[in-house]
Amino acid sequence: MRIDKWVQKFKGCGKSVARRLIASGEVRVDGVAVRDSHFEVTRFHKVEVSGEVAQSNRAYYIMLNKPAGCVSATSDTEHETVVDLINEPFSDLLHIAGRLDKESTGLMILTNDGQWSRLITEPDEKIPKTYLVTTEKPISPETVAAFAEGFYFAYEDITTLPAELEILTSSCARVVIYEGKYHQIKRMFHAVGNRITSLHREQIGSISLDENLAPSDYRYLTDEEIDFSVKS
Ligand code: URA
């Protein structure tokens, strides 16, 4: 919302009073006086009007090393959730930017900034997600071409986008996908007659799982990770 409208609402005053407050430097956003009445205030700005804190919401961006066995949900009556692992007063505000199956491990991002998380999760953004997988049977060299071609998923009536598969050892590979369909990688291996025995997410966009984080540990994203997360 434009700051002049925002001040009008907060103070219950008219447009001219709001504009006067703005022009005289009485309205500060994130600690800086804003004199442009067209400035767009979001719910993540800290806004002060004449020294009074009018809005103090903050955006939180967390990287978690998801352990196997906990569910990608904000609440669950039976299982521990990824949000249960975030020991912060604001944890109830968080949502998950890209789920992992219960037995999958690795990079999980949680935030209360829906606009930002959409950049990661919207299929149109085609953000690369990198996984390390191990399989029951050896991975045949033909699997590389099959992943690049895409698989038809009848249930959703879609063909998966070209995915990259790098075979590391006979039953271990690195997979990069650009979308996030339900059980996508499991179903892709199933389609070539194989089965995943472990799946670990290493990277989303340019955000890599911090190797210092043990399973269940988390940390805040850095400003650089927040700004550059959508660039691969
Ligand atoms: N694909 C899967 O099959 N499972 C995950 O957890 C993530 C991607």
Dihedral, CA of residue 210, residue 214, residue 219 and residue 225, to nearest 10: 10
> Hey, which residues are catalytic here?
101
Please give the pLDDT value at position 230. 55
| Averaged pLDDT, 86-103 | 93
Query: What pLDDT digit, counting tens, does each position of 117-145 carry?
Result: 988 888 888 999 999 999 999 999 999 99
Pair 23, 68 in one domain: no
Protein residue closest via CA to atom 3 of ligand 1: 183
Find the domain containing 180 and state its range: 61-228
| Averaged pLDDT, 149-169 | 96
Pair 136, 152 in one domain: yes
- Written as six digits, the tokens of 102 are 């219960």
Pocket of ligand 1 (CB under 6 A): 100-101, 104, 183-186, 199
Pair 115, 184 in one domain: yes
Give the total number of structural domains in the chain: 2
From residue 126, alpha-carbon distances to 97, 121, 204 in Å are: 14, 8, 11
203 CA from centroid of ligand 1 (Å): 13
Question: d(Cα 159, Cα 149) in Å, to the nearest integer?
Answer: 9
> pLDDT tier at 43 (50, 70, 90 boundaries)?
confident
Helical ranges in 70-168 per DSSP H:
114-121, 142-149
Relative to the CA of 201, which ligand 1 atom is closest? 7
